[in-house]
Amino acid sequence: MATELKTKNQIICYHCGDICKDESIAIEEKYFCCSGCKTVYEILNQGELCIYYNFQENPGISPKNFESKRFDYLDDTLTITKLLDFSDEKISKITFFIPQMHCSSCIWLLENLFKLNPAITSSTVNFVRKELSVKYLHEKISLKEVVVLISSIGYEPQINLDTAEKKIETKSNKSLYYKVGVAGFCFGNIMMFSFPEYFSITTADSLLKSFFNYLNLILSLPVFFYSASDYFVSAYKGLRKKIINIDVPLSLGILVLFLRSVYELLILNQAGYFDSLAGLVFFLLIGKILQEKTYDAMNFERDYKAYFPLSVIIKQNEIEKSIPVANLMVGNRIIIRQNEIVPADAILMNGDGLIDYSFVSGESHPIDKVSGEMIYAGGRQKSGLIELEVIKEVSQSYLTQLWNNDTFNKKTESEFTNFSNTVSKYFTIVILIIAFVAAAFWLSVSSFTAINVFTSVLIVACPCALALSTPFTLGNTMRIFGRNKFYLKNASVVEMMAKINSIVFDKTGTITESGKSDIIYTGRILNTTELKCIKSLVRSSTHPLSKKIFDSIDGSDFFPVTKFNEPIGKGIEGVVYGNIIKIGSSDFVNLKIIETEVDVIRTRVYVSINSEVVGNFTISNSYRMGIDKVVKNLSSEYQLSLLSGDNNGEKDNLLKIFKSESQLHFKQSPEDKLNFIKQLQSDKSKVLMVGDGLNDAGALSQSDVGISVTDDVSNFTPACDAIIDSGQLKNISTFLKFSKTSLKIIHLNFLISFFYNLVGLSFAINGMLSPLIAALLMPVSSISVVLVATLATNFFAKKRGLLSL
Amino acid sequence: MSVIVVLIGFSLFVAVGFLIAFLWSVKSGQYSDTYTPSVRVLFEDEKSKKEKEIVKETKIKEENKLDN
């Protein structure tokens, strides 16, 4: 019944595609869900930009109610210079990060800003990185006006300390491409000039032959000195720390290959192994590119500063001005508006404080504060404007202390002893032993052959398969995960995932979801007056459901309510604007239906106006759909626990999901969460933590793999190892299984390369390694390893349903 | 056969040209965003639309003149 009503009466917002509550907001035949969307439409209509709606149905983004006052700090010259990329007498250039862009309409609109304001000379979108670079004439339009304009059409840029302090650098990535270009160019040409060698063409013209060989030498110089330089640097760094990482045997192989080739050419006038050298470096770099392919739109490197406002308004001698947060001094009077974060510990001076500490402590209920009370940094003001006096500088606040905990100095990949590094250590030692033994054996024949054999062993036993199988397998795995909206920070996370044996869930934002989306009205379309009546009535009640209904209805003025009555467990009733309104259970509004299913997940609240039942609000019990199945799937293989900053009010509901009470831990502060993870790890557990990254950032960092759940993948990326779209949380056990499969594929590849090395070494030990055999063996082994890695991962991904066939 | 040296020199010269072109294309950011241009190319330029209309009108006028 309800679904029928839904489909009949749903009006879709012309701008953003959300469901409209009623027909009240409309222009001609176009309906809008809120006045914000309507405003955007009007702006676009004036600017003759309505083509925007031609590319895609309902492409818009509903603008959040923003006050232009919020951007006052952009009038501060210091802040402006921090943010700008470039500025001269006339033109300024700035790059914004706009996570909301999602389709071709967005691109079109953002690139046509000049039609809305001619002072903007050009605006260019980089969709992959969700960036917009704007050039504007700063004499005619201020930065603040630019930001307000972009925000007014629904694309509010994300501006924070983070963006001001460090522009994301892509130089390192580019240099890798240069290196591949150079290596590929040299590799191709060296192969061509080696043709006479391959076909063992005996030309009488020895000049020509040596000409080719010297060309090869010249071409291999940039490969050796430029393209391969990263490997030498990394190996040197590793050895200085007394670690044998994968780059040590690689550099050793490359070095010996080059030196022996130069020696053979200059002293013996033979061809050498230049082709193998260039080919090896080329393949290695391709593997490296795959491994470094991170998601541009994800910027994982964020610290606490990303949450803090850029600037704050201070009051000096009754004059308000905005200054950068960094310049905040003890004793300053600051003004905090509704929904702004308090940047430093301060004492409340004026106004009603209603502070939401969910960000710091995980407690989701705001706390009342009166004048003279202390408010900690990181609290969010929920009711109107307050005035505070700063008592600690920004960097010494409680929040920063928590975030500056050692765990945030996150383990880097180099210190992480992954499988290939472990193997390469033994590999290097074994190869060196074989080389020395073989050389010692040949010494009795001739010292020349001994050196020959020694170098041949080092050349042919190149760990290319070692070096290639890992990046190709893990890189492909990351790509497959990425398609399923599960984004990893780097490849080593896959290896860690395979070792996990304990999983910790955070409650708020992970198991539960919050926000407007979990309340749906079904039934007769209500007009504004009726909505206002309902909002006025629920305002008088403190029941959580009333609060949710209150939040879901727009509007800020109310009718007086008379004859208010709240029979416990049934509902609320009252007379508003001359209408008798009842809100509550089906019995309460005298509706004759039998609730067929007692649903944990959903609650229905019926509304009757003047004893006519007009419809109901369906309120999801904010647990994520399918979370119980996820937990059930995981419980057989992993040790599960749940952490929550709230009190144990939800315990009964949680017990329907989790098996035993011992798995549930309530009233956990961020530090408690961190220590809980530490305690698990001291019991030799490898811990995977799933959280929202807000008040469990420390725990996420401490865990071996920290996954942050988000509804908008591009919107929020705290310190974690991976980001997962909330809709994909149900697949987490599949992801974990697949990470194990990936490791198995790597092991298989090691076997294959072991076989190649066996063949190669048998040639080398017998002193029979010719440049031709080396040139054949090395690329063939590399290519077959790459093929096995990519094909096998794709095959298993299809089998597991992670890739469409 | 020594002419081959000249030919190879020439072929290398061409190949280096391609290498430089590749390096330049990376440097100028042609690989930094591979998606947006593919969308951008589909946007109708309104100027050209208006121009087309003007061209059409003038054609019609000319035809009318000829008819008269």
**CB burial class (10 A; 0-12, 13-18, 19+) of residue A728?**
middle
Q: How far is B20 from chain A (nearest CA, A)?
A: 9
Segment among A10-24, A563-577, A630-644, B17-31 with least mean pLDDT: A10-24
Query: Is A185 within 8 Å of B18 when comparing Cβ atoms?
Result: yes
Chain A residue with Cα closest to B21 = A181
Backbone angles phi, psi at A629, to 5 degrees: -65, -40
Query: Is A178 within 8 Å of B23 when comparing Cβ atoms?
Result: yes
CB nearest B1 (choices: A126, A174, A205)? A205
Pick A509 or A381 by higher pLDDT: A381
CB nearest A104 (choices: B4, B22, B39)? B39
**How are strands ordered across the β-sheet holding A311-316?**
A319-324, A311-316, A333-336, A386-390, A346-350, A374-375
Check if B47 contacts A (Cβ < 8 Å): no
pTM (whole model) above 0.75: no
Interface of A with B (CB under 8 A): 51, 104, 107-108, 111, 125-129, 170, 174, 177-178, 181-182, 185, 188-189, 193, 203, 205, 207-208, 211, 215
Q: How far is B46 from chain A (nearest CA, A)?
A: 10
Q: How many helices (H) and strands (E) does chain A have?
A: 27, 30
pLDDT of residue B23: 94
Q: How far is A130 from chain B (nearest CA, A)?
A: 10
Chain A residue with Cα closest to B23 = A178
pLDDT of residue B42: 80
What does the DSSP 8-state code read for residue A298? Answer: -
Determine the Cα–Cα distance for residues A305 and A158; give it in Å rounded to an integer.
Answer: 13
Query: Is B33 within 8 Å of A111 when comparing Cβ atoms?
Result: no
Pick A649 or A676 by higher pLDDT: A676
Chain B residue with Cα closest to A178 = B23
Q: How far is A736 from chain B (nearest CA, A)?
A: 31
Q: Which chain A residues have a beta carbon less than 8 Å from that of B17?
A: none
Tens of pLDDT, residues A595-635: 544 444 456 788 888 888 888 887 665 677 778 888 888 88
CB nearest B15 (choices: A111, A185, A208)? A185
Question: Which one of A49, A201, A208 makes the best mutation probe of the B interface by having the most chain B beta carbons within 10 Å?
Answer: A208
Q: Which chain A residues have a beta carbon less than 8 Å from that of B35?
A: 127-128
Q: Which chain B residues have a beta carbon less than 8 Å from that of A49?
A: none
pLDDT of residue A693: 63
Task: Give the closest residue to A100 by CA, choosing from A41, A163, A151, A38.
Answer: A151
Query: Is B19 within 8 Å of A185 when comparing Cβ atoms?
Result: yes
pLDDT of residue A757: 84
Query: Is B18 within 8 Å of A129 when comparing Cβ atoms?
Result: no
Task: Give the closest residue to A406 by CA, choosing from A674, A687, A162, A673.
Answer: A674
Q: How far is B64 from chain A (nearest CA, A)?
A: 32
Q: What is the largest CA-CA distance in chain B?
A: 75
Residue with tokens 């910790």: A504
Determine the Cα–Cα distance for residues A454 and A681; give it in Å rounded to an integer.
Answer: 45
Mean pLDDT, chain A, as a whole number?
A: 78
Check if B10 contacts A (Cβ < 8 Å): no
Check if B26 contacts A (Cβ < 8 Å): yes
Task: Give the closest residue to A402 by CA, choosing from A510, A504, A300, A307.
Answer: A307
CB nearest B33 (choices: A129, A174, A188)? A129
**Taking the C-alpha atoms of A470, A476, A479 and A483 in order, what is their torsion angle to the nearest 10 degrees?**
-140
Query: Is A107 within 8 Å of B15 when comparing Cβ atoms?
Result: no
Pick A42 or A653 by higher pLDDT: A42
Check if B18 contacts A (Cβ < 8 Å): yes
Determine the Cα–Cα distance for residues A766 and A598; give it in Å rounded to an integer.
Answer: 79
Query: Is A189 within 8 Å of B12 when comparing Cβ atoms?
Result: yes
pLDDT of residue A29: 79
Residue type, A353: G
CB nearest B23 (choices: A129, A181, A207)? A181
Q: How far is B51 from chain A (nearest CA, A)?
A: 17
pLDDT of residue A517: 46
pLDDT of residue A415: 40
Report in angstroms the alpha-carbon separations of A361 from A251, A395, A692. Answer: 49, 19, 13
Determine the Cα–Cα distance for residues A769 and A776; give it in Å rounded to an integer.
Answer: 11
Query: Is B1 within 8 Å of A129 when comparing Cβ atoms?
Result: no
Q: Which chain A residues have a beta carbon less than 8 Å from that of B22?
A: 181, 185
Tens of pLDDT, residues A41-96: 887 887 777 777 877 777 777 766 566 666 777 777 777 887 888 888 888 888 88
Chain A residue with Cα closest to B17 = A185
CA distance between the termini of chain A: 37
Q: How far is A680 from chain B (nearest CA, A)?
A: 42
Segment among A182-186, A409-413, B16-20 with least mean pLDDT: A409-413
Check if B4 contacts A (Cβ < 8 Å): yes
Q: Which chain A residues have a beta carbon less than 8 Å from that of B44?
A: 51
Query: Is A181 within 8 Å of B19 when comparing Cβ atoms?
Result: yes
Residues A147 and A84: beta-carbon distance below 8 Å = no
How would residue A342 be classed by pLDDT, with cut points 50, 70 and 90? confident
- What is the mean predicted confidence (pLDDT) over A345-370? 74
Choose the most confident range, by mean pLDDT, from A136-145, A310-319, A551-560: A136-145
Report in angstroms the alpha-carbon separations of A234 from A208, A239, A278, A430. Answer: 39, 9, 19, 21
Tens of pLDDT, residues A156-191: 887 765 555 555 455 556 888 999 999 999 999 998
Check if B1 contacts A (Cβ < 8 Å): yes
Query: Is B40 within 8 Å of A182 when comparing Cβ atoms?
Result: no
How would residue A399 be classed by pLDDT, with cut points 50, 70 and 90? low
Determine the Cα–Cα distance for residues A142 and A769; give it in Å rounded to an integer.
Answer: 71
pLDDT of residue A362: 53
Tens of pLDDT, residues A481-493: 888 888 887 778 8
Segment among A26-40, A88-102, A637-651, A704-718 with least mean pLDDT: A704-718
CB nearest B5 (choices: A111, A170, A211)? A211
Chain A residue with Cα closest to B9 = A215
Backbone angles phi, psi at A647, to 5 degrees: -80, 180
pLDDT of residue A286: 85
Residue type, A593: I
DSSP string of A740-770?
HHHHHHHHHHHHHHHHHHHHHHHHHHTT---
In angstroms, how far is CA A478 from the centroid of its own chain? 13
Q: Which chain A residues have a beta carbon less than 8 Å from that of B46?
A: 51
